[in-house]
Structure 1
Amino acid sequence: MLIIDSVSKDLGEFALTDVSLSVGDGEYFIILGPTGAGKTILLETIAGIYSPDAGRIVLNDRDITDVPAKDRNIGMVYQDYMLFPHLTVEENISFGLKSRRADSDFIRRKVQESAELLNIGHLLHRYPGTLSGGEQQRTAIARALVMEPDALLLDEPLSALDVKTRESLRGELARIHDATGTTIIHITHNFEEVFDLADRVAVMHRGSVVQVGTPEEIFRKPNSDFVADFVGMENLFCGEGSPDGTVMVEGLRIQVENGMPGPVSLAVRPEDIHLSKTALPQNGKNILPGCIRTVRQAGGLVRICVDAGIPVMVVLTRQGFEEAGVGSGDAVYLAFRPSAAHVYSSGAPEGD
């Protein structure tokens, strides 16, 4: 549906370098990456705010690389809403349709439908300055959707909202996507949004796309140290892989599912590790004896650092920690399945 083919754009401080992506019709596609990775430039290049220095953009089999932004039928919503303060909610939503000189009855009907979809039908007479952040963002999304765009671009649409409103609007976005089938490309730093909304995810770093996959693939099977670190794969070790499905890490032999020979990185998510004060049956698992070095409360979770010959981070729920009955200085056993130990080549690209 949307093809981004080898697109580059140099804006000095920010740049895109040979970015290629494809987004399917009706897909909810999320782009992750640190500040300065090029995420917003990519969205604005898709929207037509910038023309690429190289490459092309194809939407529904139509090359739109040089098509003006107003003729692309792409909607864009920023985190700061960008509503017209002197216009009512109704006038903000209808602005694009009026620019197209649509029939007044058609405009009235489409505005009402869009407002009802976003649960702001009762706010049509109000001005943006009298609305909450969540209501303003709903208005901005309604203004984009009323145009029936081929693709909707969302630049961190929930980041300026409080936690409760963010959770509510996240659910609204999922419902709207299901109801409309609109292709959505969404930038975020929030991992909850990824798991609640995304069909697929792209990770950007230094202006390049370094990995694309499902949320499960990105968070559990990173292809580089950068991605592993970015998605919170805290247990990240260098080792020597063997074709027999083991990796040697500082004298420890660890069974893995996707073994490969040579220098490798091995990553294990902290929540995939079981901790016990008593010896555990192996049952095909990796069993590491160790000693607890630190225990730190983190909201409803407890973060435990264990010295098992290598420093291993374990995350338990508060209840799981209490049931384990452990504390700093205790001898413990760690267990994790070979399938939880993801291995990739140490020479994996970093997006430089």
Structure 2
Amino acid sequence: MIEIESLSRKWRTFALDDLSLKVESGEYFVILGPTGAGKTLLLELIAGFHVPDSGKIMVDGKEVTHLPPEKHDLAFVYQNYSLFPHMNVKKNIEFGMRMKKIKDPERVLETARDLKITHLLDRNPLTLSGGEQQRVALARALVTDSKILLLDEPLSALDPRTQESARELLSALHKNKKLTVLHITHDQTEARIMADRIAIIMDGKLMQIGTPEAIFEKPVDSQVASFVGFENVLKGRVISADRGLLRIDAGDAVIDASGDMKTGDLVYAFLRPENIALSKTSTQSSIRNSLKGRVTEIWILGALVRVKVDCGIPLNVLITRQSAEEMNISPGVPVYAQFKASSVHVLR
């Protein structure tokens, strides 16, 4: 378990400000935020590479705030893996053991077998692929038998196909070795797939902690909503509220949404582009919102198409390329933008 209480640290013109969070034993916890948010600095404080200006760090009930890194009993894997080019793979793995004064040659072989890199033990790290380097870095970290693993952007240096196998590897290691994992990333898809819980950090501040569903469907404010992909932001006033169903006047359109606001409240309504469907007709269904509009712009993004629709209010919509072709979507085409009330996230 990792516990952080009121942690702060100034770093040149940047500062982490009063962060508190708890990572439970056996949890796969992801810290998500944009580049420059302070994620790596937080991880390095937890690892003991820096000392905070204030606050407390606890690892498995023991305070380690001012202890050197080797006393934190954590395994750390950097983004670039930091393998030593003058050592072969075997010696790189053994380095982690030497730092903790562990003498057990068989453990190196066991760890290499677990990570399927025994055939690489005599190789130089510079001759390895990105995925192989990652496995070696993980082996060097895990050979010390630490149960807490800190990962700094572990997949960012890998190509998409290797990323997929690396995600599977990390998930298997987490489960099979009963590890507590603290993983930082700016990649939202990665966070959504890997995490039991996610903490959002922006500008050195902790914005929200929750399950992936809570983070991506119920952001706490407009800054987090924008970061996690709610591209459509509508400002309006609640004109009716009945048992959790809201009707919102957004200026040139009226939409239905779910929420606990009151009539007269000024609100912001957030809607993800992938939660909007396009149709040539206003079909009768359980979908409460069906806004007539006209396509103004399209962008082809491989198998997906991003469509901008003017419904009195501008909406960004994401549909499959197949759907766009079937409806002959192009600028000027009339369409209906349809979405459920439950897809609209409302904040004051």
What's the TM-score once normalised by structure 2's chain length? Answer: 0.94
Shift in Å at residue 92 of structure 1? 0.9
- Structural mapping, 1:116-155, within 5 Å: 116-155=113-152
| Alpha carbons 2:100, 2:144 under 8 Å: kept | no
- Structural mapping, 1:111-190, within 5 Å: 111-190=108-187
SS in 1 for 2:12: coil
Shift in Å at residue 251 of structure 1? 4.1
Stretch of structure 1 that moved more, 209-218 or 239-248: 239-248
- Within the candidate set 204, 218, 221, 2:218 is matched to 221
Q: Residue in 1 aligned with 2:324? A: 321
The answer to whether the aligner puts 1:274 opposite 2:277 as a matched pair is: yes
Q: Residue in 2 aligned with 1:348? A: none
List gaps (5 residues or longer) in structure 1.
Answer: 346-352
Residue by residue over 1:221-274, the C-alpha shift from the partner in whole angstroms, topping out at 9 and shown as x without a partner, is 111111111112111122223543222211422211114132222111111111
Q: Residue in 2 aligned with 1:7? A: 7
Count of residue pairs brought into register by the alignment: 342
The answer to whether the aligner puts 1:37 opposite 2:37 as a matched pair is: yes
- Structural mapping, 1:100-111, within 5 Å: 100-103=100-103, 107-111=104-108
Question: 2-side partners of 1:200 and 1:50: how far apart?
Answer: 25
SS in 1 for 2:330: coil
Question: 2-side partners of 1:167 and 1:295: how far apart?
Answer: 30
Q: AA paired with 1:254? A: I
Question: 2-side partners of 1:192 and 1:206: how far apart?
Answer: 21
Q: Residue in 1 aligned with 2:307? A: 304
Question: 2-side partners of 1:74 and 1:99: how far apart?
Answer: 12
Shift in Å at residue 13 of structure 1? 2.5
Question: 2-side partners of 1:343 and 1:108: how far apart?
Answer: 58
Question: 1-side partners of 2:297 and 2:187: how far apart?
Answer: 27
Stretch of structure 1 that moved more, 160-169 or 76-85: 160-169
SS in 2 for 1:256: strand
Shift in Å at residue 283 of structure 1? 2.9
| Alpha carbons 2:85, 2:125 under 8 Å: kept | yes
Which 4+ residue blocks in structure 1 deviate beyond 4 angstroms? none
* Identical counterparts, % of pairs: 46
Question: 2-side partners of 1:283 and 1:100: how far apart?
Answer: 62
Shift in Å at residue 313 of structure 1? 0.9
Shift in Å at residue 305 of structure 1? 0.5
List gaps (5 residues or longer) in structure 2.
Answer: none
Question: 1-side partners of 2:209 and 2:315: how far apart?
Answer: 28
Q: AA paired with 2:248? A: V
Q: Residue in 2 aligned with 1:55? A: 55
| Alpha carbons 1:7, 1:55 under 8 Å: kept | yes
Question: 1-side partners of 2:36 and 2:287: how far apart?
Answer: 43
Q: Residue in 2 aligned with 1:205? A: 202
- Root-mean-square deviation (CA, aligned residues, Å) is 1.5
